[in-house]
Structure 1
């Protein structure tokens, strides 16, 4: 069998296409040895949804492994054995603590930091370093991209968005420093170019020419040469990977055509210049590119925001014309609660899609999901109460064998969510003594 570097890429005009994990690749720096002599990197992603959840239809009634997923979480049923549903976790410093209104802004700013943000709508914003950026600072040098920040709604850095709190707090999940939020990318084409563009190719004409072609056409010669050198299993993995990239390219084109309503020949392959109009198309394109980023080890750390905190987006495509934020102030109205549960379920369907994609991809001694930790949740519990305890939190994936999944765990009231983050950082081989309001590691995760 040939031996390939983990950094092997397929080259073409202005293109450097990273490869998935192959048996022919020698162990890369920064990848821990796993049971059975196999190696695989551990990945970590944080997926955020706004406005809390309808908790009666989120929380399983039984603890341990003998539980049923309720209505909101039901789309995850095929993946139940890969989940930890975690109840009782809190972000205390998202509470007012004397600062009055602004729960939505505080909930997002605090979600990954565990720090109470300074109440301001000026330039003097201040929160804390987020868990993803703690990991990126310590291990980001192992990958081409230290971290990847994705979303659907744009990030803002100024303005008053929530009771005197800057829009920076309610639209940025990741914080590189207490005063520096990391804006998310919301344009699928730009993410695609970031993943597959050649950093050394700065010629504008070359870039313009390659925009009119499929990336697979540009790397075809390299791909054919590599194909003949690989074993059967690796050839299958490469073929599946290239097919996935081709499908994403096709969907990018379709989404762009929907947005512009331009009519082009169906065999044209043109990378889009804009953002899909369809919310599910947008979400799934971003999630699929996150899968590719993990599969090709271009990053091991990511965040994804399904909608900015306090979003009042309507969900007409699932029959809900009402604004999400407005509905979350349901005041016990059963019809509004039902609509909130339907929005929650829609978001969980997108999570199930993402986890399913990770579970399909074989890697070393398991799957991409086995080698990942995917946290999904919100910084608000019930949107009507604006509470920041008993948050809706799911941790999916095996963490390279360090998590015992398929369980619903209940923690004591007000257990800091940041205790979970300390435990996740340990599993990323980037341990820290404290983060935000952490009080120690979260127990029970490994059984």
Structure 2
């Protein structure tokens, strides 16, 4: 184990010489921006010098046939290398610690004559200017704010960031998250007790209405205090600018859930019935009153009466939950409400309520409640997924920007992987952000001590 010693010199004025706290803090911030990169560059050059001495011998006393911890990229030989000097141009690396400049030393293979830099070979930096850790940190910032803002924040902390670099980081990171949308891969989730299906529109392509982003989210548990429960979620399916039927291949490889929550859209319900024909479907309690209001609008019902009926349905659903009604009791109350709507001759609203009858109180079935007791009860709506989609819309709908489909797919892949702690994201984080294993010590010299 080698030891590298670095020295820091600072010329500080005295406290009586108009020195303020703001000046001291500005000095510390300037060191934060420059010191880590300078320390990394010095350590790399020190390690490089020791490596060259190890495989080639001392500068003025070369030794033949010394073994090396690397192989020649030309012929694969792992011994007998010669010094070939240093490159005159500094090699730049954009890292999470800042911009690092290193003067690379070359060696030559005596077997095939290949000249290369062993430092790049050992650290797997050949052909790279940006490190993987900087890529994932820029992409993580860019998934929460605009590319310009992400680049500005990174630059404020001494990290080489810009809008273009943040955009490129997202584009490079998304293909590495290969477990998203592929249920057959080893690191992909295998299923969840509750699956919520819903979609949202996004500004992409040349279409005026944009494209649909369809998501299948699984609820696996709840943690936290009673007043602040937090749902544990997994991303099970994701499609962009494609119909709901294309998600069937992603869902068929999953274990069947206990219940599927839908918003009432025909395509979503058809997907759930085709993939899991034996799994009960729960109609979202928030979407149903909203759909009733639109159906009454299509029936040209008077607006005050339609709004009152929507309020009655909301009160009915809340009363069912508050009074702990059984499944038959809830259906009886629901049928009585439906009769008041159909009596007025509103056909669209009547068909909507009749079609939702078998799904609206699935959450009250005893067998469903028993299987979901460990979650604190069954899901009544798609609120968990709605919050996720609002986060996506808040990121993508910035300044009326319009995305390409490919760029939008990369962004939402990174954002959903981060928000749901997808196994592909966790694995990538562990490999690129390992805990520090290099011990260091900061020593402050004390004069006249004792």
TM-score higher than 0.5 here? no
Q: If the TM-score is normalised by the length of the shorter chain, which range does it land in?
A: under 0.3
TM-score of the superposition, structure 2-length normalised?
0.22
The structure that has the greater radius of gyration is 2
TM-score (norm 1): 0.23
- Of Structure 1 and Structure 2, the greater helix share is in 2
